[in-house]
Amino acid sequence: MSFTDWFKDIKPVMPVMVIEDINDAEPLAEALISGGVTCLEITLRTPVGLKAIEILAKKFPDAHVGVGTVSKIEEMQRAVDAGAKFAISPGITADLCEKAKSLRLPYAPGIMTPSDILLGKQFGMEFFKFYPADLAGGPKMLKALQGPFPDLKFCPTGGIHYDNAMEYLSLKNVVAVGGSWVCPVELVRNKDWQAIKTLAKKALPNI
């Protein structure tokens, strides 16, 4: 399944989750899901990332649990074995694109330039993470990319927050926004699940 087909059913805000304590995985996911989020990107930035994917994929079979910060094909394979239903990378490499294709895994490589996009297109990629969105030119850059790449879709992340999410989501080549602002590390450390649920509710646009 392509990422864009897969993304049709997903609410357009994707929390980028950094889980430091495995005991936080479940209550954090619970808070986000009860706030209306349907898609969870669990990053491999901490040693418990894979374990968290395994736990959450089993516990929340209806949620879309995926893996973020994938930089090696072995990580992609392990995440899929743990139950990840999609994968996201901060950048793009040929071997990651090939691996995602061979696994038939919805995959969004990270891009910042037209050349990155051309590399992805060689592998049939049609959905990209635009990262780091604010530093890479923000909404203006995404608008500029509509000219040469009218059929491609993007999920900007990096510097997205409540105040600018709608500006990105109003662009016709943006199908979702992602970021840590829905589940800030400090709130997770404080186990403030109620605050995270409130942030998730506030983050989801009325569309």
Which entry of 85, 99, 129, 153 is annotated as an active-site residue?
A: 129
Kindly determine how many residues on this chain lie close enough to bind ligand 3PG according to the rule CB under 6 A. 11
Q: How far apart are CA 117 and CA 195, in angstroms?
A: 37
129 is catalytic: yes
Q: What is the nearest approach in angstroms of ligand 3PG to the Cβ of residue 154? A: 12
Q: What is the nearest approach in angstroms of ligand 3PG to the Cβ of residue 178? A: 5
Identify residues 122-151 at the interface with ligand 3PG (CB under 6 A). Answer: 131
Rule CB under 6 A: choose which of 89, 157, 164, 173 binds ligand 3PG: 157
Rule CB under 6 A: choose which of 3, 7, 16, 76 binds ligand 3PG: 16
54 is catalytic: no
Task: Rank residues 128 and 181 by Cβ distance to ligand 3PG and give the closer one.
Answer: 181
Backbone CA torsion sign across 65, 193, 89, 5: positive
Indicate the residue type of 172: K
Task: Rank residues 45 and 104 by Cβ distance to ligand 3PG and give the closer one.
Answer: 45
Q: How far apart are CA 132 and CA 35, in angstroms?
A: 25
- Residue whose Cβ sits closest to ligand 3PG: 179
Q: Which residues contact 140 (CB under 8 A, 6 or more apart)?
A: none
Q: Give, as one character, the DSSP assignment of residue 22.
A: G
Q: Using alpha carbons, select from 65, 17, 9, 10 the residue that is nearest to residue 188.
A: 17
Q: What is the DSSP string of 160-203?
A: --HHHHHHHHTSTTB--EEEGGGS-HHHHHTT-HHHHHHHHHHH
Q: Is 89 in the site for ligand 3PG (CB under 6 A)?
A: no
Q: Using alpha carbons, select from 46, 40, 89 the residue that is nearest to residue 60.
A: 40
Q: What is the nearest approach in angstroms of ligand 3PG to the Cβ of residue 137? A: 15
Q: Is 158 in the site for ligand 3PG (CB under 6 A)?
A: yes
Task: Rank residues 59 and 139 by Cβ distance to ligand 3PG and give the closer one.
Answer: 139
Identify residues 159-178 at the interface with ligand 3PG (CB under 6 A). Answer: 159-160, 178
Q: Is 180 in the site for ligand 3PG (CB under 6 A)?
A: yes
Q: What is the DSSP string of 27-88?
A: HHHHHHHHTT--EEEEESSSTTHHHHHHHHHHH-TTSEEEEES--SHHHHHHHHHHT-S-EE
Q: Which residues are catalytic?
A: 41, 129
Residues in contact with ligand 3PG by CB under 6 A are: 16, 90, 131, 157-160, 178-181
